[in-house]
């Protein structure tokens, strides 16, 4: 085998709370993460010319500023000196959208190189590499549904959610994650998120009753920076969404839809042509130890 294709699914946050600041300056998160069916496609090919990366989105870094490149560099440095690879990323996940696009590409490269070069690394070894790259990369290794805490890199895997259809809407606005967190520190919105109860609902395999308990403390912050968030939530509700919430630090908003048909219809009829709109469903964990 000298080439391999790997899927890299996007993630959303079904709940996100901040518990304070850690000693290392990172915000101490508590979040329930969920992978969804919107995927980047990563193509890996053995070569003999070092690491070469291309991608389908103009302007996205193709050197070691790309998290996927960094993943290859790290795994080769530690486990396969002078390894060479060609990486092509067919990007489908909007960039800087709160969907962990870079992190999931990076996790896919770690898993792909492990397979392609027959390195035989086990999950704890892959996890250590993932943690060294970024906070969301550990979740992206396994995907599915998980509770994450610390800077988001400490994980407790939860049972897979019942397949649920959603619509993702990404407005064409850039919100820098760092700015959202700075703004959060100034505002500290008063929201109570019953995280233990929410985890309990998923652990017990109960049908989710989408009420205000499912919330994201960063949503009012980003909504204060760009008006699109509130507008998109209203529009999603008009299109039949049972529940709406912003993912991560935004600006992507998701709507939970009653079924596939309504998810697809909402996307076809979406009135703002500048938004990127995707019908997606929740993914199960795709990597087992
Ligand atoms: P998160 O939800 O983890 O905060 P995000 O979805 O908001 O992430 P990304 O799509 O990962 O954000 O992009 C954030 C930044 O990372 C971008 O500015 C981009 O230049 C850089 N980046 C590096 N590698 C990648 C990659 N493979 N795909 C997308 N962005 C990348």
**Average confidence (pLDDT) over 77-97:** 95
**Ligand 1: distance of its center to the CA of 58 in Å?**
14
Is 165-281 a domain of CATH 3.40.50.300?
no
Q: State the catalytic residues.
A: 11, 136
Pairwise CA distance, residues 129 & 27, whole Å: 21
Per the CB < 8 A criterion, the answer to whether 57 and 40 are in contact is no
What dihedral angle (degrees, nearest 10) is formed by the CA atoms of 84, 64, 249, 174? Answer: -120
pLDDT, residue 174, reads 86
**Average confidence (pLDDT) over 173-189:** 92
Per the CB < 8 A criterion, the answer to whether 169 and 281 are in contact is no
Per the CB < 8 A criterion, the answer to whether 37 and 280 are in contact is yes
pLDDT tens digit string along 237-276?
Answer: 999 999 999 999 999 999 999 999 999 999 999 999 999 9
**Average pLDDT along the chain:** 95
**Ligand 1: distance of its center to the CA of 104 in Å?**
9
Q: Which residues pair with 46 in a beta bridge?
A: 85
Pairwise CA distance, residues 98 & 221, whole Å: 14
SS3 (DSSP) at 79: helix
CA of 177, closest atom in ligand 1: 4
Per the CB < 8 A criterion, the answer to whether 155 and 135 are in contact is no
Q: Where do you find CATH 3.30.70.890 in the chain?
A: 165-281
Instruction: Give percent of the chain above pLDDT 90.
Output: 90
Is the beta carbon of 168 within 6 A of some atom in ligand 1? no
pLDDT at residue 119 greater than cutoff 70: yes
Nearest to 144 by CA among 127, 161, 130: 161
| Architecture of the domain whose range is 3-158 | 2-Layer Sandwich (3.30)
pLDDT, residue 288, reads 61
pLDDT, residue 216, reads 97
What is the best residue among 101, 112, 151, 246 to mutate for testing ligand 1's pocket, by most ligand atoms within 8 Å of CB? 101
**Ligand 1: distance of its center to the CA of 93 in Å?**
10
Pairwise CA distance, residues 257 & 161, whole Å: 14
pLDDT, residue 65, reads 96
Per the CB < 8 A criterion, the answer to whether 148 and 31 are in contact is yes
Length of the chain: 289
- Which residue's C-alpha comes closest to atom 16 of ligand 1? 102
SS3 (DSSP) at 275: coil
Tokens 């490149």: give the residue. 69
End-to-end CA, the chain? 23
- Which residue's C-alpha comes closest to atom 17 of ligand 1? 96
Pairwise CA distance, residues 57 & 40, whole Å: 11
What is the best residue among 68, 96, 136, 151 to mutate for testing ligand 1's pocket, by most ligand atoms within 8 Å of CB? 96
Q: Where do you find CATH 3.30.230.10 in the chain?
A: 3-158
pLDDT at residue 22 greater than cutoff 90: no
Contacts (Cβ under 8 Å, ≥6 apart) of 186: none
What does the block give as tokens for 24? 């290392």
Is the beta carbon of 53 within 6 A of some atom in ligand 1? no
pLDDT at residue 21 greater than cutoff 90: no
pLDDT at residue 23 greater than cutoff 90: no
**Ligand 1: distance of its center to the CA of 149 in Å?**
20
pLDDT, residue 53, reads 98
pLDDT tens digit string along 128-157?
Answer: 999 999 999 999 999 999 999 999 999 999
Is the beta carbon of 177 within 6 A of some atom in ligand 1? yes
Angle between helices 123-133 and 101-116 (to 10 degrees): 140
At 26, is the pLDDT very low, low, confident or very high (cuts 50, 70, 90)?
Answer: confident
At 277, is the pLDDT very low, low, confident or very high (cuts 50, 70, 90)?
Answer: very high
pLDDT at residue 6 greater than cutoff 80: yes
What does the block give as tokens for 57? 């989105």
Contacts (Cβ under 8 Å, ≥6 apart) of 23: none
């Amino acid at each position: 085998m000298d080439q391999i294709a790997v899927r890299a699914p996007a993630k959303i946050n079904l709940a996100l709370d901040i518990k304070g600041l850690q000693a290392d300056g990172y915000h101490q998160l508590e979040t329930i993460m969920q992978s969804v069916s919107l995927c980047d496609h990563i193509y890996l090919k053995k070569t003999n010319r070092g690491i070469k990366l291309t991608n389908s989105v103009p302007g996205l870094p193709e050197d070691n500023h790309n998290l996927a490149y960094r993943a290859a560099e790290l795994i080769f440095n530690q486990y396969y000196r002078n390894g060479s690879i060609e990486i092509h990323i067919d990007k489908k996940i909007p960039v800087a959208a709160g969907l962990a696009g870079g992190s999931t590409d990076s996790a896919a490269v770690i898993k792909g190189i492990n397979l392609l070069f027959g390195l035989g690394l086990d999950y704890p070894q892959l996890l250590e590499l993932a943690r060294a790259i970024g906070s969301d990369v550990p979740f992206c290794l396994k995907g599915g549904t998980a509770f994450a805490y610390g800077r988001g890199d400490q994980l407790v895997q939860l049972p897979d959610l019942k397949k649920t259809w959603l619509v993702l809407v990404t407005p064409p606005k850039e919100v820098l994650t760092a700015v959202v967190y700075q703004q959060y520190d100034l505002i500290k919105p008063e929201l109570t998120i019953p995280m233990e109860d929410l985890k309990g609902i998923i652990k017990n395999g109960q049908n989710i009753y989408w009420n205000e308990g499912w919330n994201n403390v960063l949503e009012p912050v980003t909504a204060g920076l760009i008006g699109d968030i509130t507008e998109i939530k209203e529009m999603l509700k008009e299109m039949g969404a049972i529940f709406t919430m912003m993912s991560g630090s935004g600006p992507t908003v998701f709507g939970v839809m009653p079924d596939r048909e309504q998810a697809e219809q909402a996307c076809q009829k979406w009135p703002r042509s500048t938004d990127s709109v995707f019908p997606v469903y929740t993914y199960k964990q795709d990597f087992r130890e």
